[in-house]
């Protein structure tokens, strides 16, 4: 049975249309229960844009999917609260879930990949989640597998199971033991040198990120993401239209996977060289990290 798909939308009607059109063409779309969560406008200025998204959602041809359920929030919850609440609701019902955001155009085999991996790694105690989007970077020439294990994942398109979800401490109580511990911070930063600094900002209420807390829970539980060799997502969100994204084409320069044939998504392993190459994309100099750390933890009042 195909896993349910949760789709988060806000105020970008054109982006929403592109994602829905691509989802219609996905293998397994007609076996998938699609749950769309539309957040409410933050202010008067956003009301018209949110209404345009909702007008489009009302016209979706539901015959492409097993079912389509649209939930419209009357007020703005923000992405973090929306994700935590909606994913929690659906994952408790089904035991697993696939999640995608409105800037993530999927490949035709996106649902095939996600469902296969959810089945394949369900009982693999090493695996925390399945990632669908791989940022552009060059893999070693001798790496020929279709998946690998990673300390860093994908927050725009992903999947996980209820037992992993239940391990998350959304209040990050364990943070107190990490905040001033250089060794634990370094260990957390094996997944990217930006992570401990973002966690500081989260705990100072300067950002409100479900993904940062999700990443911290992965670290606490010593697990990995399963990531694809070729991205299943083409990211269209870095066009200055999103709440949390700017203007760049760096993250959209991916080779989008379109083929179901001759791929093996089983047998993912962790490779230090791949991890090193991937995490270069999240590198920060020691001086830059020190400046952000001091500003966040000592000059925030």
The 3-state DSSP class for residue 212 equals helix
* Residue % of the chain over a pLDDT of 70: 85
> How high is the pLDDT of residue 137?
85
Whether 295 is in a domain gets the answer: no
The number of beta carbons lying within 10 Å of the beta carbon of residue 69 is 14
Please count the structural domains in the chain.
1
The CATH number assigned to the domain holding 138 equals 3.90.550.10
Asked if residue 71 is part of any domain, the answer here is yes
Please determine, for residue 295, whether its predicted confidence score (pLDDT) is greater than 70. no
β partners of residue 160: 97
Report the DSSP beta bridge partners of residue 219.
none
Q: Is residue 202 part of a domain?
A: no
pLDDT at 129: 98
pLDDT tens for each residue of 63-110: 999 999 999 999 999 999 999 999 999 999 999 999 999 999 999 999
pLDDT of residue 240 exceeding 60, the answer is no
Task: Please give the mean pLDDT across all residues of the chain.
Answer: 88
Average pLDDT for residues 196-223, to the nearest whole number? 95
Residue 140 lies in a domain: yes
The residue-averaged pLDDT of 218-243 equals 83
What's residue 292's pLDDT? 46
Owning domain of residue 262: 5-167+221-270
pLDDT for res 257: 59
- Domain assignment of residue 214, yes or no: no
Residue 208 lies in a domain: no
Domain-located, residue 298: no
Burial of 17 (0-12, 13-18, 19+ CB in 10 A): middle
> Where does the chain show beta strands of DSSP type E?
5-9, 33-38, 67-72, 96-101, 104-106, 127-131, 147-150, 157-161, 224-228, 233-235
Q: Quick one: which of 190, 189, 122, 191 has its CA closest to 159?
A: 122
Burial (Cβ within 10 Å: 0-12, 13-18, ≥19) of residue 40: middle
249 confidence band (pLDDT: 50, 70, 90): low
List, for residues 8-50, the tens digit of each pLDDT value.
Answer: 999 999 999 999 999 999 999 999 999 999 999 999 999 999 9
Residue 45, H or E segment:
helix 44-58
pLDDT attached to residue 301: 46
Weakest-pLDDT range from 41-45, 49-53, 152-156, 239-243 = 239-243
pLDDT in tens, 113-149: 999 999 999 999 999 999 999 988 889 989 989 999 9
Whole-number pLDDT of residue 138:
86
Long-range contacts of the stretch 120-126 (C-beta < 8 A, 24+): 120/265, 120/266, 121/226, 121/268, 122/96, 122/161, 125/223, 126/223, 126/224
In a domain, 249, yes or no: yes
């Amino acid at each position: 049975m195909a896993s349910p798909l949760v789709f988060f939308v806000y105020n970008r009607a054109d982006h929403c249309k592109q994602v829905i059109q691509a989802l219609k063409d996905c293998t397994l779309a007609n076996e998938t229960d699609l749950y769309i969560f539309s957040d409410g406008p933050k202010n008067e200025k956003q009301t018209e844009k949110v209404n345009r998204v909702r007008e489009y959602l009302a016209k979706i041809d539901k015959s492409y999917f097993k079912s389509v359920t649209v939930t419209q929030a009357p007020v703005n919850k923000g992405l973090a609260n929306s994700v935590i609440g909606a994913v929690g609701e659906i994952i408790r019902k089904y035991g697993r879930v696939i999640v995608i955001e409105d800037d993530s155009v999927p490949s035709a085999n996106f649902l095939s990949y996600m469902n296969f991996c959810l089945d394949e790694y369900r009982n693999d105690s090493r695996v925390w989640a399945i990632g669908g989007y791989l940022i552009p970077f060059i893999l070693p020439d001798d790496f020929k597998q279709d998946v690998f294990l990673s300390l860093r994942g994908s927050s725009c398109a992903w999947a996980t199971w209820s037992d992993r979800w239940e391990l998350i401490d959304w209040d990050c109580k364990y943070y107190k033991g990490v905040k001033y511990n250089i060794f634990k911070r370094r260990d957390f930063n094996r997944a990217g040198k930006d992570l401990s600094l973002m966690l500081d900002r989260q705990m100072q209420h300067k950002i409100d990120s479900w993904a940062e807390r999700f990443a911290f829970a992965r670290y606490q539980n010593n697990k990995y993401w399963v990531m694809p060799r070729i991205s299943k997502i083409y990211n269209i969100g870095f066009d200055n239209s999103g709440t949390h994204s700017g203007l760049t084409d760096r993250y959209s320069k991916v080779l989008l996977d379109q083929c179901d044939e001759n791929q093996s998504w089983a047998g993912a392993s962790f490779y230090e060289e791949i991890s090193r190459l991937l995490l270069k994309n999240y590198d920060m100099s020691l001086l830059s990290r020190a400046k952000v750390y001091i500003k966040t933890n000592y000059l925030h009042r």
